[in-house]
Structure 1
Amino acid sequence: MRRLVTALATLSLAACASHPKPAPAEPEAPPTQGPATPTPPADPEAFRATPPQPGKPPELVLPTFQKATLDNGLTVLVSTRKELPLVFAGVAFASGSAQDPVGKPGLADLTYRMLLEGAGTHDTVALDNAFADLGVSPALEVSADGAQVGARVLTRNADAALALLSDVALRPTFQPKAFERRKKQQLADLVRRLGSPSTLGQIVFLSSVFGETHPYGHSSPGMPDAVQAFTLEDVQGFYKKHVGPAAAAIILTGDITLDEGVELAKKHFGAWKAPVAVPPVPPAPPTPARELVRVVPKPGLDQTVMMLGRPAIAAGNPDEYSLELATTVFGGFFGSRLNMNLREDKGYSYGAGAGVDPRLGVGPLSAVTSVRADVTGPALTEMMKELSGLKSKPITEKELAAAREGLIRAFPGAFESVEGLGSSAARLYFKRRPMDEFNRTVEGLRTATAEEVQRSAEQYLDPARMQVILVGDPLLIQEQVSPLELGKLTPVEPDTTAPGAPQPPSAGAP
């Protein structure tokens, strides 16, 4: 048996030996090819050829303003925003520096500032401390069309803030010592400001564009000689003539509703009585052709301040939106024609701009820049070329689209804070515009046609009707501007001094 098993095993081994496994086939040689072409490296700068695309812009949400009128004629304006427990409380007055009597520029400004120099049972220091106890310091602003005083407070302090503001508006003390102190401070601040060439240019600009006796023909702070002559009786007379419930508005914005605002207004201002009406709309000034180039001499000044402008339009004018777009293309943003020429192309200036200011009455249109003194003539030539170019080189669709987008997207910036809402509400009141004015403005900017914008550009930006004011070295201006034949060079020297007031720094002083 063992032999049989052994024989079978031997046969199996023999069978395995007679059928060996085939050797693995060698791989076939690849076909003969030429040398491989290397792949060129990617250009690391290629992405610059395609600018990144902006994301979808957020939806524009404009605030809602609501209005109520109390029995005594007082207006209440409210814009509700509930995100934070904050309220802006203010009082807006319908009379501004446009109501300064002829020969007394700055009286409105001084009168309103006296409101914070003592009211009710508080003297100047006590009134300031009372506001400080609420964690605030009141802000006051005076413009041509009105004035506003107010403060941002926590919602729980809105009632207390209005109580103080009612003292300020209804019960100013007008103490003689406080008046003399305020007037001296006003003079010191004013004379210091008048050391600025730009401020001097603005003063001459307003009187040149509107005329010295026009309500808009002077700046709100006035001039030192006029302020020095003011008496306490002048201030009291302005207050009595122009401050009353029918010519004022309570502004409440933030964490408050219209019903709550009306109740607070009734509580603190409902008994206010004064026979005062809103002032008339300032008359429209003439727009004559330019005959003069006004020069404010500042010998040795390293730069020349240039201001060009004219009376333009009042708020609510049908051309308001098309003209806003036209002036934006001309000089209203960094990529405007004027700035790209004077700054980016020529290097004459750090920047140049233009804008239109629709007021209750006809407001100004202006173009402003400061250039190196040595290029005064060439820079003025370029400004005039850009004005003329609006007709010879009409505004393109690309320029119009950029202006339209920039203006509309900038709107939310005015409403970022409750104070911004308050200022916006005050502007509606000063200009006597409807509560949906901002919606109307956005719609007007969106729908203004290229033809309307071009017509406004040619009508209002006519270089022949732009008055020219230059602040700088008179000899250099004479040498460089006279050959341009833009008008007779006429020196204008505002009186910037007042008895007992500090003298402004000399040109070139640090």
Structure 2
Amino acid sequence: MRRRLLALSTLAVLTASACRTAPAPVPEASTPAPSPEPGPAPAADAESFRDTPPQPGKPPELVLPTFQRAELDNGLTVLVSTRRELPLVYVGLSFAVGGAGDPAGKWGLADLTYKTMLEGAGGKDTLALDQAFQNLGVSPSVSVSSDGATLGVRVLARNTEAALALLTDVTRRPALAPKDFERRKTLQLAELVRALGSPGFLAQQAFLRTVFGPTHPYGHSVSGLPSTVQAVTAKDVRAFHEAHVGPRTTALVLTGDITLEQAVALARKSFGDWKGKAVLPPVPPAPPVPARTQVVFVPKPGLDQTVVLLGRPGIAASNPEESALELATTVFGGFFGSRLNMNLREDKGYSYGANASADGRLGVGPVTASSSVRADVTGAALQEFFRELEGVRERPITAKELESAREGLIQSFPGSFESVEGLGLSASALFTLRLPMNEYARTVEGLREATPPEVQRVAEAYLAPGSMQVVLVGDPDTVKKQVEGLGLGQWTVEDPTQTPKPRR
């Protein structure tokens, strides 16, 4: 339309020039010509917005929960975090002895003990106890780690005292009947048979004994092995409960629609007269950090992928370098854009994903880097693992990498506290790891204040290639020929399903 109007205008000018003596025609109407309609913008203009990405809005202010602590005369700890939004309360008991307290040859005893405690208590058998919890609309959960255990339920606030009465019986008066123990033991063995079919579980078993040693409290998984669980008796379970469950090793955890004053009153009613000889266990000793001399291989014929697990002893949860190490491992392999993941997944296509982490425990926990890679590129993937480890020193962590890790870690904190159960488990961790009530605020402050030189120093110290042990699980015919020539150490075949003999 615009082009046609321009042509007609040009023709009128030419006609006027050729006939200057002719009178000008009188227009029929004085209505002005319509304005030309705008045409479509050029393609470049329509896409120009892509040159400037949208700016993120201001992140919401981080608000951390407040944890309060009290102690009864008998030593029982009471932990509370009040949240009034909903009439819900998490009622839990946290215990200070976990899998690290398993005696030699009977790994899995702690796990089996805490689960058997829910098989009848306070004069109720398994069915009656289960029905009592169901009458409150809940089912108790149990979680056992190396450093402790937690039993708990989420209930309506009006059912807090009733739920606590049941959990008090479970804690103080468990039946631990032989028939209930045998049923729970049978379930535990069945679960282990299933777990031992998992390459990841096999890698974890082999890794713990390689890094910590078979006699160290952290040298085995909490669930144990079939041979060690088979050795556990009902008498062992009763002895473990008597030795390790008592007021000085237990915390009552109440979070949600409840105050510290209310919690202390409930604690006195349920546990005020409780006596027991249990005491807090010693902190597990720090293991040595030797140079790598071997590649530990767990054969599993027919696997299309190889589990690659590298690691070494790291730090304890109370170590002042914890925040810096968390940032360093996050940059290395802790999120999608990390160096290890971008290399193995995005650049090479060897894996669906790779990760790294630092597990701070009551004692020194492990630093790990892992991935499941295509079996046919196991050797090449291992080379990339070590190329990235060497790159920590050769290519120092950039300010952009550090800020991405810092923001991601800090902004993820609210996810741990979004429910009353999350609050309860967070409080339980404070108890089992023996941390102060303001630990989460201190952690965030540490993440915010960690400087690039500090993070770089810690990264070089704990991600040094020579101290990272190597564990592989995969097809022997495919993997061995790829790895033996890499110079990573002696090829050592191990069967993590068997109880290892103590090292001399």
TM-score above 0.5, yes or no: yes
Q: Is the 8 A contact 1:194 1:496 kept in 2?
A: no
CA–CA distance in structure 1, aligned partners of residues 288 and 78 of structure 2: 36
User: Match for 1:397: what amino acid?
Assistant: A
How much has 1:40 moved relative to structure 2? 4.3
Q: Give the match for residue 95 of structure 1.
A: 97
User: Match for 1:316: what amino acid?
Assistant: S
Q: Is the 8 A contact 1:191 1:496 kept in 2?
A: no
User: What RMSD, in angstroms, separates the aligned Cα atoms of the two structures?
Assistant: 1.7
Aligned length: 467
Q: Give the match for residue 239 of structure 2.
A: 237
How much has 1:159 moved relative to structure 2? 0.2
Q: Give the match for residue 217 of structure 1.
A: 219
Q: Give the match for residue 278 of structure 2.
A: 276
Q: Give the match for residue 313 of structure 1.
A: 315
Q: Give the match for residue 426 of structure 2.
A: 424
Q: How does 1:2-151 map to 2 (within 5 A)?
A: 40=42, 42-151=44-153
Q: Is the 8 A contact 2:81 2:254 kept in 1?
A: yes
Q: 2:154 aligns with which of 143, 152, 155?
A: 152
User: Match for 2:259: what amino acid?
Assistant: T
CA–CA distance in structure 1, aligned partners of residues 46 and 356 of structure 2: 41
Q: Give the match for residue 354 of structure 1.
A: 356
Q: Is the 8 A contact 1:306 1:469 kept in 2?
A: yes
How much has 1:348 moved relative to structure 2? 0.4
Please list the CA deviations of residues 459-491 of structure 1 after superposition, one character each: whole Å capped at 9, or x if unmatched. 000010000000001122211001111011100
| Structure 1 counterpart SS, 2:471 | strand
Q: 1:291 aligns with which of 287, 290, 293?
A: 293
Q: Is the 8 A contact 1:281 1:360 kept in 2?
A: yes
How much has 1:495 moved relative to structure 2? 2.6
CA–CA distance in structure 2, aligned partners of residues 483 and 46 of structure 1: 53
| Structure 2 counterpart SS, 1:369 | strand
| Structure 2 counterpart SS, 1:366 | strand
Q: 2:210 aligns with which of 192, 208, 211?
A: 208
Q: Is the 8 A contact 1:72 1:270 kept in 2?
A: yes
Matched, 1:450 2:448: no
How much has 1:347 moved relative to structure 2? 0.5
Cα–Cα, structure 1 residues 301 and 24, in superposed 2: closer, same or farther, change >3 Å? closer
Q: After the TM superposition, which parts of structure 1 deviate over 6 Å for at least 4 consecutive aligned residues?
A: 23-27
Please list the CA deviations of residues 332-353 of structure 1 after superposition, one character each: whole Å capped at 9, or x if unmatched. 0000000000000000000000
Q: Give the match for residue 507 of structure 1.
A: none
Q: 2:256 aligns with which of 254, 257, 270?
A: 254
User: Match for 1:95: what amino acid?
Assistant: V
CA–CA distance in structure 2, aligned partners of residues 229 and 430 of structure 1: 27
How much has 1:25 moved relative to structure 2? 8.6
CA–CA distance in structure 2, aligned partners of residues 189 and 39 of structure 1: 65
CA–CA distance in structure 1, aligned partners of residues 314 and 152 of structure 2: 31
How much has 1:66 moved relative to structure 2? 0.0
Percent pairwise identity: 66
How much has 1:43 moved relative to structure 2? 3.0
User: Match for 2:195: what amino acid?
Assistant: R
Q: 2:480 aligns with which of 478, 481, 486?
A: 478
Q: 2:441 aligns with which of 439, 442, 466?
A: 439
Q: 1:363 aligns with which of 356, 362, 365?
A: 365
Q: 1:487 aligns with which of 483, 489, 501?
A: 489
Q: Give the match for residue 19 of structure 2.
A: none
**Structure 1: gaps of 5 or more residues:** 1-22, 28-36, 498-510
CA–CA distance in structure 1, aligned partners of residues 239 and 372 of structure 2: 40
CA–CA distance in structure 1, aligned partners of residues 164 and 363 of structure 2: 31
How much has 1:215 moved relative to structure 2? 0.3
Q: Give the match for residue 182 of structure 2.
A: 180
**Structure 2: gaps of 5 or more residues:** 1-23, 30-38, 500-504
CA–CA distance in structure 1, aligned partners of residues 74 and 25 of structure 2: 112
Q: Give the match for residue 380 of structure 2.
A: 378
Matched, 1:198 2:163: no
CA–CA distance in structure 2, aligned partners of residues 337 and 47 of structure 1: 30
CA–CA distance in structure 2, aligned partners of residues 414 and 112 of structure 1: 24
CA–CA distance in structure 2, aligned partners of residues 98 and 236 of structure 1: 18
Q: Give the match for residue 227 of structure 1.
A: 229
CA–CA distance in structure 1, aligned partners of residues 127 and 366 of structure 2: 39
User: Match for 1:383: what amino acid?
Assistant: F
Cα–Cα, structure 1 residues 261 and 479, in superposed 2: closer, same or farther, change >3 Å? same
How much has 1:118 moved relative to structure 2? 0.7
Please list the CA deviations of residues 10-59 of structure 1 after superposition, one character each: whole Å capped at 9, or x if unmatched. xxxxxxxxxxxxx99989xxxxxxxxx99845532222221111111000
Cα–Cα, structure 1 residues 374 and 254, in superposed 2: closer, same or farther, change >3 Å? same
User: Match for 1:66: what amino acid?
Assistant: Q
CA–CA distance in structure 2, aligned partners of residues 110 and 298 of structure 1: 28
CA–CA distance in structure 2, aligned partners of residues 61 and 176 of structure 1: 48
Q: How does 1:159-178 map to 2 (within 5 A)?
A: 159-178=161-180
CA–CA distance in structure 2, aligned partners of residues 56 and 271 of structure 1: 52
CA–CA distance in structure 2, aligned partners of residues 269 and 307 of structure 1: 44
Q: Is the 8 A contact 2:205 2:221 kept in 1?
A: yes
CA–CA distance in structure 2, aligned partners of residues 482 and 47 of structure 1: 53
**When the two structures are superposed, what TM-score results if normalisation uses the length of structure 1?**
0.90
| Structure 2 counterpart SS, 1:119 | coil
How much has 1:496 moved relative to structure 2? 6.3
CA–CA distance in structure 1, aligned partners of residues 229 and 321 of structure 2: 38
CA–CA distance in structure 2, aligned partners of residues 299 and 144 of structure 1: 31
CA–CA distance in structure 2, aligned partners of residues 80 and 172 of structure 1: 29
User: Match for 2:435: what amino acid?
Assistant: R
Please list the CA deviations of residues 106-138 of structure 1 after superposition, one character each: whole Å capped at 9, or x if unmatched. 000001111001101110111111000000000
